[in-house]
Structure 1
Amino acid sequence: MKRSASTLLLALGLALSACAGPTATDPRDPWEATNREIFDFNLRLDDAAIRPVASAYHDGVPDGMRTAIRNFLSNLNEPVVFANNVLQLRLLDAGHTLMRFYINTVGGGLGFFDIATPNGLTRRSGDFGQTLYSWGVPDGPFLMLPIMGPTVIRDAIGDGIDAAANPIGLLTGSIFASAPAHIIGASRGALSGIDLRAENIDTLDALRADSLDFYARLRSVTRQRRDAELGRVDTPEGATIVPLDDPGAEPPSGAAMPGTAAAVPAELPGIHVTAPPTARRGRARERTPDPAWARNMPPGARF
């Protein structure tokens, strides 16, 4: 089932491209009408089920236990980060990630305790969408996925490939029968999503309450976070900055004016963002800065 994830995501993109709708307000979001419908579905699902479960998890599970679970889930993903670092020829980061995985797995109780970070081995970024970017694959249209949230075609396909090729998932499938392996994989994904949602309850509530157009604001925040991960944090002088974040709203305090570079943190909470070699050269892009609290949402924070 995991192996078909990228195929399903690509099929979804092709299906969306066939949907006729009103002219999009953003050229990078040509399927905006359909994306907004999916976004509305995600909001209803979040209000009815996901947020209440995440809130109960946040209030019912002690902070230390939630941190241990988060560390464990993060450690399970380190082999994927390592593989993508190698594919991007970021060999120092690959060695750094491998050492971090070894230390936390052996000395940190299978990763429940992150003893690598206090010793200078902060987590590196690495996913197949980033790898495709380093190989020159363009973003593709903006895409709102059911439950999974905002992304772009390239990163959606990359997420599917990461899930299918995850060594931990492959090992689980080789040990257990097909049905139990799928249950374990689904449980791991659900727990990761609930934990991530629980850590962003206040942030997303504030973002929603502060937005005249929540869809457009979330689209902008998602792009800025991803641009930071890819190293696209500099806007060349003279580049056009399109107000994508919140149409009609007053510019946020400290916002960059057209033709100037706005500061987007190159390092996100818990992640040392080391840009792929091609990203370090910088690429022209259009963006509008959001408040620092919005830009600092943990990687993967979606709605």
Structure 2
Amino acid sequence: MDRTSGFALAVLTSLIFISGCATSPDSEEASNQDTAVESGSTASSITDPYENWNRKVFAFNQGFDDYVLRPAAVGYQTVVPGFADVAVTNFFENLEEVRNFINSVLQLKGEHAVVAAGRFTYNTVFGLGGLIDVATAFDLPKRPEDFGQTLGYWGLGSGPYLMLPFLGPSTPRHLTGRATDGLVFPSPYDYAESPDRYYALVLEVVDKRADLISAEGMLSGDSYVFVRNAYLQRREFLVNDGRTGKDPFLQQGNEDVMLDNF
């Protein structure tokens, strides 16, 4: 499988971002309010200049989720035992440690790089190829790093908020980082034959969507605004290693909510 196919993998995997946990937007009116957004060093504000278009794409994505992705995820949770579901999630998350390690190095984060390398080693060797997350028990918590965060670390602005068909919430910087991660970093699908590679890909997407079902009850108010604010806050949190500025959830009355799957 070539790197173009690798990019396709990254695109399809990111279907999990469609959901925002899947409810229809409550309003078609543009609010154009400033929201917190990821930045290279400090929190900044950003408008949603394409909100009218973004809302239409958001509704399309939710329709796809309602009729295709979520039913598949519900069926998956019904059929697959809980321990097996956790094992599948652990396996795919373990593969992401290679990306975490390389981007930690690019961001000059030595401790994060050591943790990523340790997690991959412990989980692969002692966790049955990553099916069991033994690294967390060794006090090595996951520290996600992607190329979008790397670009932010070196000062590249995020650009305007975008809602993309199938890809879901994004910004130009995050989209560039996602494409780079998909093209550059090794993937187990590179070594699989058809149709096995596609079975594995569908399994990863459905498993991640299933993990979001339990978070659906957190949506409140205008779901478009909620998902936008959750996404932007999460990206800011990741880029700045937890040093956030203005909290958009305080404006929405959801102070304690964090959608980690963003």
- Please report the TM-score for the alignment, with normalisation by the length of structure 2: 0.77
Query: For residues 298 and 129 of structure 1, what CA distance do their matches in structure 2 show?
Result: 16
User: 1:137-156 to 2 correspondence within 5 Å?
Assistant: 137-156=156-175
* Equivalent residue letter for 1:298: D
User: 1:219-234 to 2 correspondence within 5 Å?
Assistant: 219-231=228-240, 233-234=243-244
SS at match of 2:187: helix
* Equivalent residue letter for 2:32: T
Query: For residues 29 and 2 of structure 1, what CA distance do their matches in structure 2 show?
Result: 32
* Ranges of 4+ aligned residues in structure 1 off by more than 6 Å: none
Superposed CA deviations along residues 17-61 of structure 1, whole A, max 9, x for unmatched, are xxxxx9772453211121111101011111111111111111221
The one of the two structures with greater contact order (alpha-carbon pairs below 8 A, sep at least 6) is: 2
- Please report the TM-score for the alignment, with normalisation by the length of structure 1: 0.68
Superposed CA deviations along residues 200-239 of structure 1, whole A, max 9, x for unmatched, are 21322441xx22x21111101111222221226443xxxx
Answer whether contact 1:23 1:30 (CA < 8 A) is retained: no
Unaligned runs of 5+ in 1: 9-21, 236-240, 246-254, 256-286
Larger Rg: 1
Question: Is 1:86 matched with 2:105?
Answer: yes
Query: For residues 260 and 228 of structure 2, what CA distance do their matches in structure 1 show?
Result: 15
Distance 1:82 1:123, change over 3 A: same
Question: Is 1:35 matched with 2:35?
Answer: no
- Counterpart residue number, 2:121: 102
User: 1:1-303 to 2 correspondence within 5 Å?
Assistant: 1-2=4-5, 25-26=32-33, 28-169=47-188, 172-173=189-190, 175=191, 180=194, 184=197, 186-207=198-219, 210-211=220-221, 213-231=222-240, 233-235=243-245, 255=250, 290-292=254-256, 294-295=257-258, 297-300=259-262
* Equivalent residue letter for 2:130: G
Query: For residues 89 and 192 of structure 2, what CA distance do their matches in structure 1 show?
Result: 24
Query: For residues 4 and 167 of structure 1, what CA distance do their matches in structure 2 show?
Result: 11
What CA RMSD, in Å, does the superposition of the two structures yield over aligned residues? 2.6
Answer whether contact 2:104 2:112 (CA < 8 A) is retained: yes
- Counterpart residue number, 1:250: none
Query: For residues 61 and 163 of structure 1, what CA distance do their matches in structure 2 show?
Result: 28
Query: For residues 62 and 127 of structure 1, what CA distance do their matches in structure 2 show?
Result: 31
% of aligned pairs identical? Answer: 33
Equivalences, count: 227
SS at match of 1:144: strand
Answer whether contact 1:142 1:150 (CA < 8 A) is retained: yes
